[in-house]
Structure 1
Amino acid sequence: MTRITVVGSGIVGLATARAFARRGHDVVVLEKEDDVARHQTGRNSGVIHSGLYYTPGSKKATMCRAGARSMQEYAAEKGVAHQITGKLVVATDESQLPQLAKLAERAVANGVPSRRVTAEEAREHEPHVRTVGAIRVESTGIVDYTGVCRAMADDIRESGGEIRFGTAVLSSREQTGGLAVETTAGVVETDLLVNCAGLHSDRVAAASGVTPDVRIVPFRGEYFELVPDRSDLVRGLIYPVPDPRFPFLGVHLTKMVDGSVHAGPNAVFALAREGYRWRDVDPRELGLSLTWPGLWRLGAKNVVPGAREFVRSVSRKLFANSLAELVPGIGVHDLVPAKAGVRAQAMHRDGRMVDDFYIQRAARQLHILNAPSPAATCALEIADHIVAEMEASA
């Protein structure tokens, strides 16, 4: 029996710990918070992604197709709220149609069932949408990812594993026969360390004697909800055609499992790893971001879209206007604030955002240094990949 220590109880950490525990390993999960899914997992839009957007052949593309199925099956098995709603990606004017066509080609390359639809056909699914043409993806859905995490935590415990809350990792070092992981609650001895710390994954790697190839730069995604008497404007998921100049998908509308409609997120540079508001500032973490040359290079290449995101962050009216491009009639009084999320985006020194899931290996260690969306959809597939890698090298 191998002793496995997993850092982080987001969905990727829990899925990984569950996979190891179900194979008979001695598993402990270390989590600095007092419950599961406190950060990226519990603060996203709850989408089961289809794999539409990702580079063909990438881990995101291949795992997302399988993950959409496995996540739906797992939620059904555990009685976690979920629904396959389908999604529309809509072009709101003629200039977006060439990019929509490219997206349709990528769907084919990735094996994602989808079809081009006319404006009239799109409005059969979403009567209030504005569009001149769209892509319909039937396999996209929604799920309660926090509920999924609670079910995974139960699976871990039932398989003999342990989850220790309020336990932050300070460092780890090699010792005879394994590793000693120093935490705020004492030392944990282990054979293998798997770092799924998300927003803090590069710092955990550095504290474990590894020089990370990339730096985590946090980007806050702010959300609103439609007021209840306007939730009938959206039946499923409505996405814009992504702007190829900017590495995020743009604000969209998502009908959640509870019937509410999530609106967002935008993408603005966060002033702390857990900077969910503009006033959340951590000088040390901010310094780490600002001294990373990649951030400045990214900013120089994205001045206009970056400025647009900032302005939209401080103006609810402009946020509402962006939504009204998708569904006319949405106004500032139709929006109420919802909790924001922070995306743990890994970035190269030259300013390139890491486009795929990214894993860095070391002796007795595996560090997941980039697992943003669609990692929640792919969590069970990522876990199987990690277990296979670790067992192959053991």
Structure 2
Amino acid sequence: MTRAPYDCDVLVAGAGIVGLATAHALRAAAPRLRVVVVEKEAGPARHQSGRNSGVVHSGVAYRPGSLKARLAVAGGAEMLAYCAEHGIAHARPGKVVLATTSEEVPRLRELAQRGRANGVAVEELSPRRLAALEPHVRAVAALRVPSTGVCDFRAVAARLTADLDVRYGAAVTVVDQRPGRGVAIGTEAGHVLRARALVTCAGLYGDRLARLAGVEPGLRIIPFRGEYRTLAPRAARMVRGLVYPVADPALPFLGVHLTRGTDGTVHAGPNAVPAPAREGYRWSAVDPAELVSTLRYPGTRRLAARYWRTGAAEIRRSLSPAAFAAAVRRLLPAVEAADLLPAPAGVRAQAVLPDGTLLDDFRFAEGPHSVHVLNAPSPAATAAFPIGREIAERTLRRLAGG
């Protein structure tokens, strides 16, 4: 199908789980299509895909009718089925969602209604039933979502690469797309690749690659570091599965929750703090130019003005083990600061609009010969396979249009 002067039919920039699932979907839809994935790192899933909680989300919490709701519900079942087919570590323990005060009970009921609207089974728990599932948690009311699972997303990414042409150490620095002439990319190493179409699934760099391709995204990626703690064995024995707070819709992030992974490790988190670099996994990882650019963006200032109290509380939990432990004790009263051990952090690529709005749903944009993933926050890993098909369909339409 490929014809000179093209090196391939489709270039996919980014070997996170969404980029790999997109390449997988393209190959499934058109087996003769030559697809090449380029990745700046030395292996797949080195950022968001490999640094998250490992939760396979049910879709219970997302706005009915949104892409998140539609794709997460379908994607969760498909992700767990893929893991089973390929022998990848996974489980479906379900999660409990807790209202820890009477003021939170209406939000818990609203969550149950939203989940049912999305086609997700939700069980309202009696005190006895909650005690049987998670005897050490504290709540005035609770729900169980049985379809929530966990898996090893890094292993999923590694399995996907087995059937794909992935080229590592290939950071994209130049994109040239012209109507009727396809796309050419230049890499940091000086290589040039030409394709009939380009897909960018660049996560933390999604807005940058769109702009390189001449597509104005109308947003900026603001990095937020998600900080986790591992529960020491004494505390880990008090958590059987997944334990979540009921989300406050007035706040931008969910808050600290408890997750037992496929290896039996229990993590608490994430705490969400602004990161001073797109790959700012530690407070010391500062990119001065990036930081100045972020602070100058109008959306950053408006976001900070709207949520400064929340941001201050998140930073306090980041710097104070006692404050982090207090957040965990809302769910698990017996935990102590000494039970919370260091764990690797992740960085969330959060799209922010110029008015300071946090973009909540998945978002894509298109150029003459390109498709760009502009926002793919959680549950993007869960929904990777249906997201990949969505992007593949858009890409094939670009190819059909010349």
TM class by smaller structure: over 0.9
Secondary structure of 1:306 counterpart:
helix
Percent identity over paired residues: 50
Q: Name structure 2 gaps, 5 residues minimum.
A: 3-8
Q: Is the 8 A contact 1:65 1:112 kept in 2?
A: yes
Which region of structure 1 is more displaced relative to structure 2, 126-135 or 383-392? Answer: 383-392
1:138-158 Cα shifts (integer Å, max 9, x gaps): 0000000000000111122xx
Aligned to 1:50: 58
Aligned to 2:155: 147
The residue type paired with residue 224 of structure 1 is R
Aligned to 2:74: 66
The residue type paired with residue 323 of structure 1 is V
Aligned to 1:353: 358
In the alignment, the residues of structure 2 paired with residue 286 and residue 17 of structure 1 have an alpha-carbon distance, to the nearest angstrom, of 33
In the alignment, the residues of structure 2 paired with residue 273 and residue 362 of structure 1 have an alpha-carbon distance, to the nearest angstrom, of 25
Aligned to 1:183: 187
Are 1:164 and 2:170 counterparts? no
Match of 1:281 among 262, 270, 286: 286
Aligned to 2:90: 82
Aligned to 2:176: 173
Residue 21 of structure 1: CA displacement?
A: 2.4
Are 1:392 and 2:397 counterparts? yes
In the alignment, the residues of structure 2 paired with residue 306 and residue 244 of structure 1 have an alpha-carbon distance, to the nearest angstrom, of 16
User: In angstroms, what is the RMSD of aligned CA positions?
Assistant: 1.1
Secondary structure of 2:230 counterpart:
strand
Q: TM-score, normalized by length of structure 2?
A: 0.95
The residue type paired with residue 309 of structure 1 is E
Match of 1:242 among 239, 247, 256: 247
Secondary structure of 1:277 counterpart:
coil
In the alignment, the residues of structure 2 paired with residue 121 and residue 301 of structure 1 have an alpha-carbon distance, to the nearest angstrom, of 39
The residue type paired with residue 108 of structure 1 is R
Q: Is the 8 A contact 1:245 1:302 kept in 2?
A: no
The residue type paired with residue 44 of structure 1 is N
Aligned to 1:21: 27
1:41-77 Cα shifts (integer Å, max 9, x gaps): 1100000000011110000000011001110110111
In the alignment, the residues of structure 1 paired with residue 127 and residue 299 of structure 2 have an alpha-carbon distance, to the nearest angstrom, of 41
Alignment of 1:79-228 (within 5 A): 79-156=87-164, 162-174=165-177, 177-185=181-189, 186-228=191-233
Aligned positions, number = 389
Aligned to 1:380: 385
Match of 2:323 among 310, 318, 323: 318
Match of 1:335 among 317, 334, 340: 340
In the alignment, the residues of structure 2 paired with residue 265 and residue 39 of structure 1 have an alpha-carbon distance, to the nearest angstrom, of 15
The residue type paired with residue 226 of structure 1 is L
Secondary structure of 2:372 counterpart:
strand
Residue 386 of structure 1: CA displacement?
A: 0.9
1:234-275 Cα shifts (integer Å, max 9, x gaps): 110000011222121110000000001011001111100000
Secondary structure of 2:397 counterpart:
helix
The residue type paired with residue 184 of structure 2 is A
The residue type paired with residue 27 of structure 2 is A
The residue type paired with residue 5 of structure 1 is L
1:281-305 Cα shifts (integer Å, max 9, x gaps): 1012112211111111111111221
Residue 205 of structure 1: CA displacement?
A: 1.1
Residue 32 of structure 1: CA displacement?
A: 0.6
In the alignment, the residues of structure 2 paired with residue 299 and residue 126 of structure 1 have an alpha-carbon distance, to the nearest angstrom, of 37
